Chain A
Amino acid sequence: MTETLSNLALGFSIALSPPILFYAFLGCFVGTLVGVLPGVGPLAGISLLLPATFGLDATRAIVMLAGIYYGAMYGGSTTSILMRIPGEAASVMTCIDGYAMARKGRAGAALTIAAVGSYLAGSASVVGLMLLAPPLALFALRFGPPEYFALLMLGLLVLAYMSSGSMLKSLAMATLGLLLGMIGIDQMTGYFRYAYGVVELGDGIGVVPVAVGLFGLAEILATAGLATPPQVVKPRLRELLPTRQEWRESAWPIGRGTVLGFLIGIVPGSAHIIASFVSYAVERKLSKRPEEFGQGAVAGVAGPESANNSATSGAFVPMLALGVPSGPIPAVMLAAMMVHGVAPGPLLIKQQPELFWGFIASMYVGNVVLLILNLPLVGLFVNVLRVPYPILYPSIIAFCILGVYAVNGSVVDVWIMLMMGVLGYLLRKLGFETAPIVLGVVLAPMIEMALRQSLAMSDGQYSIFVSRPIAGTLLLVGLILIILGLKPLVTRGLDWRARLALAEKGQEQP
């Protein structure tokens, strides 16, 4: 414990230095702007803004990217409450009661509760991250290639299981992602695979063009033609303070959302989306007046907003401690860290303590910055929403092209983004989740390397994956998830994933 505290002090000495503070502030500000824009969620936002960090050292770059991630999560709640448009998927549940509160004239109170809940949950879950990541990293030092292979496979299976909608479709998308990740030089033999003479494909398909195409461009392709400008409720500053009753009603939901969000965040999958959904369901179940949910219940804003911010920190635990991204956003963060020469994993905490603890401390600082930023400047962020969409979306497209080109200075990446955009648009129309594709692309080289190293260790015997206890247990958990995921096909009923998919489409409240 003493060691943790002294490490944290080291982290704060870095995070509170003026340059780092400036980049945390900048990241939070830009992230909030990105989160407010419908269609540009945290994933596309981080991908687009990655080139802007190239001139920075690793610590500043990662602090800024984490700020963008946090800010985008915060920003998403603003559009949910004021326009009933989730800036990103995790804010879907906030739309229901947040917008209902706004229509009753309590928009300011809803925004304050969402901001304070997010702040408390974000800060508390960083404590969890701080306490959990180092021992987990220590445990992970026992992992060899078979254990890593099993862990990575489990990550993909959990993501498929946790995704809303059909598990079969999610698994198909994860496989497509893995297949796309096979493009490029074979790491064991040096062979060019599926490059068709395009030298730039030798390094494989980058995660940034894939993420921007599937999440940024695809969204624009799907929404640009829909000309129905939504109403924006503009709150006044003096209306920001919730009443005593509203504070009382939000206290327990914030606490529950924090714990729930962190625990769900650690598990691979679209954690922050699931966390907000589960929190909403729990709050409605525990409420003495469940009929108020959907009509502007404070707990319906406080719980999900706290849960999705808590899950954001939780998702960093496996990424920092094991080097295994638990979802598409941590996957892009992982790629961003690698661009800056940082390799997350068990050795990060030992080899680069100033980076790890500086990052942890900057998360505390980022939460404070966001609280200071979000409430007084809410009017400014709302004004962004007043820019007509026919002017806004061409600018977002220009940023997509710029962001993707700037990562490697390659036009091939722009073509990949374009193809992924079309693919994402079609898949979205046909009801497929695209997040597993991004994770598949990132994990493919790691999974292949771990598989081939394991087989080299065992002289080609696949039994190595079941004869080693950790690998065997992880694969068994994966198998159980497959069975659980396929259960609704037999029972022909709606399981929680199907209900989540319906809720995301706004067809049904969970």
Chain B
Amino acid sequence: MPVVLALVLLGFGALVYLLGGGNAPRLAAVGWSEWRHAVAIFLVCAFAALALERLGFRLTIALSLAFLLGVVEHKGFAVTAAVSIVFAGAAFFLFDTFLRVPLPRGPFGL
């Protein structure tokens, strides 16, 4: 069945190209102005996936938020530190402590 589906998908791809290819806008015309933000967010998510079970939930989320707020969005130190630490701590309390959804802990039980 997967082979049949793959062939069907290829067929649809070919049809989309043949029937709409001529009128479609060029790839550059789509508008990619937000690509820098998109790449930064992608990298932060990749870091979170790598670090989640190594550094623990609180540290990983606090670091990810700090990078997004401080480096990507150029927010001040106080705002960045406050939002990152409070959010990571509050989310951990709500889900792990209150709702009993186990979240990973890192070094020093963080």
Contacts and interface: CB of A to CB of B under 8 A. Distances in A.
Interface of A: 51-52, 54-55, 166, 168-169, 171-172, 175-176, 178-179, 182, 193-194, 217, 220-226, 390-391, 393-395, 397-399, 401-402, 405-406, 409, 411, 414-415, 417-418, 421-422, 425, 429-430, 448, 451, 489
Interface residues of B, number: 50
A418 B8 CA distance: 26
A179 B6 contact: yes
17 contacts: A55-B101, A176-B9, A179-B6, A217-B41, A224-B34, A393-B68, A394-B83, A397-B45, A398-B64, A401-B49, A402-B57, A405-B52, A406-B102, A409-B104, A414-B45, A414-B49, A451-B1
Contacts of A225: 33-38
Interface in B80-102: 83, 87-88, 91, 95, 99-102
Given A179-B6, A414-B52, 12 more contacts: A52-B101, A171-B12, A175-B5, A221-B38, A402-B57, A402-B95, A405-B104, A406-B101, A406-B102, A409-B102, A414-B45, A417-B45
Contact of B65 (A178, A394, A421): A394
B65 A398 contact: yes
Contact of A224 (B12, B38, B49, B95): B38
Nearest to A394: B68
Contacts of B19: 168, 489
B110 interface: no
Contact of A169 (B16, B48, B103): B16
A451 B1 CA distance: 10
B53 A411 contact: yes
Contact of B49 (A178, A194, A411, A448): A411
Contacts, number: 137
Q: Which of A194, A397, A409 has the most CB of B within 10 A?
A: A397
Contacts of A394: 64-65, 68-69, 73, 83
B3 to A, nearest CB: 10
Contacts of A429: 30-32
Contacts of B6: 179
A399 B91 contact: yes
Q: Which of B1, B36, B52, B87 has the most CB of A within 10 A?
A: B1
Contact of A179 (B5, B53, B87): B5
A295 B8 CA distance: 46
Nearest to A171: B12
Contacts of A51: 95, 99, 101
Q: Which of A175, A391, A398 has the most CB of B within 10 A?
A: A398
B98 to A, nearest CB: 9
A418 B83 CA distance: 23
Contacts of A169: 12, 16
A400 B100 CA distance: 18
A398 B69 contact: no
Q: Which of B2, B46, B64 has the most CB of A within 10 A?
A: B2
Nearest to B39: A221
B2 A179 contact: yes
Contacts of A55: 99-101
A193 B20 contact: no
B41 A221 contact: yes
B109 to A, nearest CB: 18
B12 A175 contact: yes
Contacts of A401: 45, 48-49, 52, 61, 64
A162 B15 CA distance: 20
